[in-house]
Structure 1
Amino acid sequence: MRIAVYHNLPNGGAMRVLGEQCRLLMERGHVLECWVPVGASRHGLPSSMPIHEVPYAGGWAILHRLMPSLLDRFQKIFCATGALEAMARRAGADINAKGFGLLFSGNCRYQAAPPIGRYVDIPSVLYAHEPYRPFHEPELVMPFTRLNRACRVTSERANAAAFTRLLANSEFSRQRLQAAYGIMATVCYLGVDTERFSPTGERREAVVVGVGVVQPHKRIELAIEALACLPSDGRPPLHWIGAAGNPVYRRKLKWLARQRRVDLTFLHQVKDNELVSRLSRASLLICTARNEPFGLTPIEASACGTPVIGVGEGGFLETVIKGVNGELTEPTAEALAQAIGKLLATPQKINQLGRSARQHVLKHWSWAGSITRLESLLAATIPDGIENRHP
């Protein structure tokens, strides 16, 4: 297949997923080229895949060059002015001219469902991790976003409807996408690179690790409160790995950790080899995110032989199995603390769960199986004969 790839993602789990999908599709002989707006992440994309950077028009291009963070801060104005639409229109025209058989798109950081699907003349597939949460979850809607929520939701739904097929990363995500867009997506589970994410053999440390961008929906305060419930003389430190995210939220977390006497360390810009090392050395991974769409980190930790303690909601219900790779609890500090304390008190249980977790991932969560499923769904989206097109 000749596949045009598009995304407007920042660094993070979704970006790692897209990079791995592209790499493995290319290894299977498919031809891929990628289109990205200025400022989108390229982390993890195959170095052999051509990447076309599409600039924004006019003043937005100047603003991004001088102060890129302002695009994220004023995204509602950015989208309302049509700058994102104009950029997608240019990318779509370029893709149409090159005679690809299929568009494979990742999410957009500003709208979740990107507008690119409306501007291509070929079958298109959106791998949709989740809708744009601030517009679909009342508890995440900020006062200033209510002003343009209806307009943005309408636009996002139209963008999603323009794609030939939607893929979801979990059954939980499929249900959320249907509620948000009125479209039935197909579940295509993700995988993990079990060669890269594997036990390093380093000595295990009395450390609890969390992974994810520092944003309120990750509920990092719940992890802090849970550790604060443990006796102070045996309380493990919390190392949180992920993009810096929201600076105000980060300061609140540091203040809370000091008040609760929890040793909190934020680790940003961590490369994959360091992530694997820290996961392998940790006593456990804690997962506290609210309605996590899939939960890639639990299977990455499991692949490294590290058990998982998490909240029993969202995609965690599909990636964490009690007694196999960890345990799920009610989303309260007390319930999490009880599970953490019980596990930390029995080092042999940590090692036993770690071995079981590794075997579980090898059997059920390999990238080979995930890419075979993705490849089949992409091929089924292309009508007979369209692959014979040439630019």
Structure 2
Amino acid sequence: MKIAVFHNLSSGGAKRALFNNINFLIKDHEVDIFVPSIADEHYLPLKDISNNLYTFKLKNTVVGSLYSAFKYFPSKISLTDLEKTQKTMAEQVNKKDYDVILCEQDKYTMAPFFLKYIKKPHVYYCQQPILSRNEISQNLYKKAGLKINKDAERIRLKFYSSRMVKIDKRLMSHSKYNVANSYFSHESIMRTYGVNSFVSYLGVETGLFKPMDVLKENFVLSVGACIPEKGFDFIIRSIGRIGEKLRPELWIVSDLVNIHWKKYLENLATQLKVKLRILILISDDELVKLYNKAMLVVYAPYLEPFGLVPLEAMSCGTPVVGVKEGGVRETIINNHTGILCERDEDDFSKHITQLFTDGSKSEEFGKNSVKLVNEFWSLEDSGKRILSHLNRAINYYDL
């Protein structure tokens, strides 16, 4: 097939998942990438693994320049300019002989304007609805005692958040075939938009994320953006409840950092006598080594739609202690590849201690994890799943 791919993603799990799927599709199909100039193509660039990459410059009009200068407007771009650019992109795709389009989300609007103008069969991969965890983030800020500029927040909520939710829902209505990354996300999509979606599970690169012959070290690892929704404060408080003689260090790896939240985490760790290291934008090879060196991986984001981190850890043979929320419940098998528990600091700390001190159980979970990933969660499995939806979408649009 000839496949066109649209994305305007930031760095992170969604971009990694797209990179992996294209790596699979390019083996037997022609794949061209279409991106606006503001898309993140420094992180896992797609130009090296696709047939062609077409970049469309986002032209800032006078209105767009005003948005950029307005400190209370988070996106720093005009949505009118964004829509014009994506309309041009869709028109170019419509003129070419592509069989199907894989459409990813937009980092500003979630459902992209691209959907409104595309006239060919397409699959829209919806990771999550826009602002799905916005209230959680605000509540965590308040509990942390961090001050939010009230005027800025009021303007953001009035002129940005509510407007973006409406835009996201309106643009979502243009998609006829939707794909979700988990059954939890499927339910969120149904609840938010009132439309159906099909689950197409992601996978991990087992050739990269694999067991290594290295010694385990006295730390537990967590991975994710340094923002409130990732639950690192909960992890710090949980580890702080472990006796000092057994208490492990906590290492956090982040690709994106909120400076205020990072400082809060560091102060909290100091207060609770938890040794904390926060590493930013490390290489994949370094990340794989840390997955292997860690005694275990701890994962506690709020309502994570899917979460590649547990699978990456499991692929390296490292067990995971995770909060049983969101898509995490669909990857970790409780008491087989790791432990799922309530969002309770005493419960979480108890299970960290259990796996940290029971080497035989950790080893058993690690072996089970590698086996499970190779049987179901590999890139080959993920690629076959998304390919089946691309094929089905062609016939679906003919109905």
**How does the TM-score come out when normalised to structure 1?**
0.91
Identify the residue that residue 191 of structure 1 maps to in structure 2.
203
Identify the residue that residue 158 of structure 2 maps to in structure 1.
147
Q: Secondary structure at the match of 2:343?
A: coil
CA contact (8 A) 2:105 2:127 kept: yes
Q: Secondary structure at the match of 1:210?
A: strand
1:1-391 correspondence runs (5 A): 1-27=1-27, 29-42=28-41, 43-44=43-44, 45=46, 47-49=48-50, 50-59=52-61, 74-75=73-74, 78-79=77-78, 81-134=79-132, 138-140=135-137, 143-148=154-159, 149-383=161-395
**Hey, what's the Cα distance between the residues in 2 that align with 1:215 and 1:140?**
8
Task: Tell me the alpha carbon deviations over residues 331-375 of structure 1, each in whole angstroms, 9 at most, x when there is no partner.
Answer: 122111010011111122222211111111112212222211211
- CA shift at 1:162, angstroms? 1.1
- CA shift at 1:284, angstroms? 0.6
CA contact (8 A) 1:55 1:61 kept: no
Task: Tell me the alpha carbon deviations over residues 2-50 of structure 1, each in whole angstroms, 9 at most, x when there is no partner.
Answer: 11111111111111000010110001x1111111122312233250422
**Hey, what's the Cα distance between the residues in 1 that align with 2:299 and 2:70?**
30
The one-letter code of the counterpart of 1:7 is H
**Hey, what's the Cα distance between the residues in 2 that align with 1:348 and 1:31?**
47
Residue 73 to residue 341, structure 1, CA distance change in 2 (3 Å):
farther
CA contact (8 A) 2:26 2:49 kept: no
Structure 1 residues without counterparts, runs of 5 or longer: 387-391
Task: Tell me the alpha carbon deviations over residues 149-170 of structure 1, each in whole angstroms, 9 at most, x when there is no partner.
Answer: 3332221012112122110010
Residue 177 to residue 95, structure 1, CA distance change in 2 (3 Å):
same
**Hey, what's the Cα distance between the residues in 2 that align with 1:12 and 1:209?**
17
- CA shift at 1:61, angstroms? 11
Task: Tell me the alpha carbon deviations over residues 188-242 of structure 1, each in whole angstroms, 9 at most, x when there is no partner.
Answer: 1111121211101111112100011111110110111111111112211111112
Residue 15 to residue 59, structure 1, CA distance change in 2 (3 Å):
same
- CA shift at 1:286, angstroms? 0.5
**Hey, what's the Cα distance between the residues in 2 that align with 1:261 and 1:243?**
25
* Percentage identity across paired residues of the two chains: 28
- CA shift at 1:272, angstroms? 1.4
**Hey, what's the Cα distance between the residues in 1 that align with 2:258 and 2:266?**
12
The one-letter code of the counterpart of 1:52 is Y
Alignment RMSD (CA, Å): 2.5
**How does the TM-score come out when normalised to structure 2?**
0.89
Aligned residues: 380
Structure 1 segments, 4+ long, off by >2 Å, are 42-46, 58-64, 70-79, 136-146, 148-151, 383-386
Identify the residue that residue 389 of structure 1 maps to in structure 2.
none
Residue 60 to residue 6, structure 1, CA distance change in 2 (3 Å):
farther
Residue 75 to residue 87, structure 1, CA distance change in 2 (3 Å):
farther
**Hey, what's the Cα distance between the residues in 2 that align with 1:12 and 1:316?**
17
CA contact (8 A) 2:74 2:156 kept: no
Q: Secondary structure at the match of 1:244?
A: coil
